[in-house]
Amino acid sequence: MDTPKRILVACGTAIATSTVVAKGIEEALKERGISVTTRQCKASEVRSLAGDAQLIVTTTPVPSDLGVPVIQTLAFLTGIGKEAVIEQIIEALKD
Amino acid sequence: MSNVIAQLLQPSCVLLNCDFKTSQEVIQAIGGKLFEAGFVKESFVQAAIDRESTLPTGLPLGGKINAAIPHTEIEHVLKPALGMATLRDVVDFRNMVSPTESVPVRLVFLLALEQPKAQIEMLQEVAGVLQNVDLVERLVSLTNYSELIKTLEGA
């Protein structure tokens, strides 16, 4: 019944790390019965695309004054702290 | 299990046990091989070096060995490929998520991606390798290409 939450996934070039992260997020949340749509973008594009997202997950620094929660993490690449980040994402999507 | 990587790693683009001093030297060396092998344009090396300086790719892996995954825009790539270097001594890269921090790196994968969001299997396999602390340690100890391929295929 709920429309899927929209997550903006950012990295430097929007071709490599954001691909892995977006897939990682989608699969992890699907396992928990949560459906999301992800959109990949470059860090430089985040400001203009933030308005359309409920959460931003990024592997590279982005502005934090966008009115959308930002989670900066390498967990989907390195595996370190991945469970904790997934919980963080779920929390952030709750409103 | 890392079969896509094993297939994409050209022997000429795998440099083991190297003595480079800077991240630029590493990118130049692997990138040069990718260019000679016809996978990237001449502009690739400088573009990857430039990108690394503003959007670094160092990844702390939580074990004894850290990695970096330099790459650049698709316009510099002719065919998708993967180059790799292992370093005898650590070389400083900057942390991807925290660019003022240094990460001492001994394993570098140079990614030549020709389409956004393509090569997802290769990328997921690279991430899988990086998440395997024992495998990463083993990779930096190898001295020849066929040992490397056997190790990756058996991983």
The ipTM, to two decimals, is 0.90
For residue B120, the enclosing domain spans: 3-144
- What is the Cα–Cα distance from B94 to B47, expressed in whole angstroms? 17
User: Does the pLDDT at position B63 exceed 80?
Assistant: yes
CATH of the domain at A81: 3.40.50.2300
Among chain B residues, CA nearest to A78: B131
Is B57 within the bounds of a domain?
yes
Positions of A marked catalytic: 11
CATH of the domain at B126: 3.40.930.10
Query: What pTM was computed for the model?
Result: 0.94
pLDDT in tens, B93-134: 999 999 999 999 999 999 998 887 667 888 899 999 999 999
Q: Put the strands of the sheet holding B58-59 in their side by side order.
A: B9-18, B81-94, B102-112, B66-68, B58-59
Among chain B residues, CA nearest to A18: B117
Is B91 within the bounds of a domain?
yes
For residue A69, the enclosing domain spans: 5-92
pLDDT in tens, B5-22: 888 898 999 999 999 999
Asked if B70 and B22 touch (Cβ cutoff 8 Å), the reply is no
**Chain B interface includes A64 (CB < 8 A):** no
Q: Put the strands of the sheet holding A5-11 in their side by side order.
A: A36-42, A5-11, A55-58, A70-72
CB distance A16–B71 less than 8 Å?
Answer: yes
Q: Which of B36, B57, B35, B55 is nearest to B44 (CA)?
A: B35
pLDDT in tens, A38-77: 999 999 999 999 999 999 999 999 998 999 999 999 999 9
Asked if B30 and B15 touch (Cβ cutoff 8 Å), the reply is yes
Asked if B28 and B45 touch (Cβ cutoff 8 Å), the reply is yes
Q: Which of A62, A58, A46 is nearest to A89 (CA)?
A: A58
Q: How many domains, chain A?
A: 1
In sequence order, what are the residues at sequence separation of 6 or more whose Cβ sits closer than 8 angstroms to the Cβ of residue B138? B151
Looking at residue B120, what is its pLDDT? Answer: 83
Asked if B135 and B153 touch (Cβ cutoff 8 Å), the reply is no
Neighboring chain B residues of A13 at a CB cutoff of 8 Å: 51, 55, 71-73
Is B153 within the bounds of a domain?
no
Q: Which of A2, A10, A4, A55 is nearest to A30 (CA)?
A: A4
Neighboring chain A residues of B71 at a CB cutoff of 8 Å: 13, 15-16
pLDDT in tens, B24-42: 999 999 999 999 999 999 9
Is B15 within the bounds of a domain?
yes
Asked if A4 and A36 touch (Cβ cutoff 8 Å), the reply is yes
Looking at residue B117, what is its pLDDT? Answer: 67
Is B64 within the bounds of a domain?
yes
**Chain B interface includes A59 (CB < 8 A):** yes
Q: Report CA-CA distances (Å) from B127 to B19, B63, B93, B133, B140.
A: 25, 15, 18, 11, 16
Average pLDDT, chain B: 94
CA distance A18 to chain B (A): 8
Is B11 within the bounds of a domain?
yes
Q: How many domains, chain B?
A: 1
Is B151 within the bounds of a domain?
no
